[in-house]
């Protein structure tokens, strides 16, 4: 079974200026351990697609299924559970809580879900991103690249099946971007997590198994081969 199925999905936003059709009849399916890069110009619908894939929002038409579960069939409690159990999110701006330590940031999703062994799980993930020595620092005392690695640790702390990354290297220089991209690739290959990443940077597509291009909300190519560094 595919991990994620996007089945003839359209998304329309209502604005003061009238409706905006952000996605039109998009279909794709994502397998475990796959890395998908979603590319296209600003406003083409990349973030919209990621938000729908992460059950943060519902499609206007069509449906999305995560491990066979249709997101629009769930109530709020069901959605919260689905997101907690299956989905991790990282963002361009890291979105760590600056008043918490690094370790506390990584623990937080487990504590919010009333899960067990939050500290041990957080330490294990911090070790995996090679930041175990930084657990006691406040999050804002880290470099951008380190903060994004903490965000990856936090996104993986509850062992999701799908990791959604919205411009994860948008605020990083190219050397730091490469470290973060390698971690995302390892996330897919070592843990079998499907990684879906919205990106402008051509270098980001080097880690992708598939590149998907959106143009004005329409999926242009379903499976062009990823551009790889030689």
Question: Given the rule CB under 6 A, which residues bind ligand ATP?
Answer: 13, 15, 20, 22, 40, 42-48, 198
Q: Which does 20 bind (CB under 5 to 8 A by kind): Mg ion, ligand ATP, none?
A: ligand ATP
Cβ-contact 216, 10 below 8 angstroms: no
SS3 73: helix
CB of 134 to ligand ATP, least distance (A): 29
Q: What angle separates helix 102-112 from helix 118-128, to the nearest 10 degrees?
A: 130
No. of H helices and E strands in the chain? 6, 10
x-or-dash pattern for Mg ion, window 19-48, by CB under 5 A?
A: ---------------------------xx-
Q: Which does 165 bind (CB under 5 to 8 A by kind): Mg ion, ligand ATP, none?
A: none
Mention every residue, 6+ apart, whose C-beta is less than 8 A from residue 59: 9, 10, 11, 23, 52, 72
Q: What angle separates helix 144-156 from helix 102-112, to the nearest 10 degrees?
A: 20
Q: Which does 15 bind (CB under 5 to 8 A by kind): ligand ATP, Mg ion, none?
A: ligand ATP
Q: Which does 22 bind (CB under 5 to 8 A by kind): ligand ATP, Mg ion, none?
A: ligand ATP
Residues 43-82, interacting with Mg ion (CB under 5 A): 46-47
Tokens of 190: 């070592």
CB of 15 to ligand ATP, least distance (A): 5
Dist. CA 94–CA 135, nearest whole Å: 16
Q: Which does 197 bind (CB under 5 to 8 A by kind): Mg ion, ligand ATP, none?
A: none
SS3 159: coil
Q: Taken in order 155, 96, 179, 118, is the CA torsion positive or negative?
A: negative
Nearest to Mg ion of 11, 46 (CB atom)? 46
Nearest to ligand ATP of 48, 177 (CB atom)? 48
Question: For strand 194-198 and strand 35-39, is the pairing parallel, antiparallel, or unpaired?
Answer: parallel
∠ CA 31-34-37 to the nearest 5 degrees? Answer: 115
CB of 175 to ligand ATP, least distance (A): 23
Nearest to Mg ion of 47, 147 (CB atom)? 47
Nearest to ligand ATP of 44, 207 (CB atom)? 44
Q: Which does 45 bind (CB under 5 to 8 A by kind): Mg ion, ligand ATP, none?
A: ligand ATP
Binding site for Mg ion (CB under 5 A): 46-47
């Amino acid at each position: 079974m595919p991990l994620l199925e996007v089945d003839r999905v359209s998304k329309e936003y209502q604005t003061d200026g009238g409706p905006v059709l952000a996605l039109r009849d998009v279909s794709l399916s994502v397998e475990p351990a796959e890395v998908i890069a979603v590319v296209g110009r600003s406003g083409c619908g990349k973030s919209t697609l990621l938000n729908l894939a992460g059950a943060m929002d519902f499609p206007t038409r069509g449906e999305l299924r995560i491990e066979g579960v249709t997101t629009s069939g769930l109530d709020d409690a069901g959605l919260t559970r689905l997101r907690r159990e299956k989905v991790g999110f990282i963002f361009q701006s890291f979105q760590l809580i600056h008043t918490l330590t690094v370790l506390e940031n990584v623990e937080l999703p487990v504590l919010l879900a009333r899960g067990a062994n939050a500290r041990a799980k957080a330490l294990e993930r911090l070790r995996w991103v090679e930041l175990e020595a930084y657990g006691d620092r406040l999050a804002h005392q880290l470099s951008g690249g380190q903060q994004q690695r903490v965000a990856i640790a936090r996104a993986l702390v509850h062992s999701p099946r799908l990791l959604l990354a919205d411009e994860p290297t948008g605020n990083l220089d190219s050397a730091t971007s490469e470290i973060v991209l390698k971690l995302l690739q390892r996330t897919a290959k070592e843990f079998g997590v499907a990684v879906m990443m919205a990106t402008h940077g051509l270098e980001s597509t080097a880690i992708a198994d598939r590149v998907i291009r959106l143009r004005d909300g329409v999926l242009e190519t379903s499976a062009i081969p990823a551009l790889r560094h030689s």
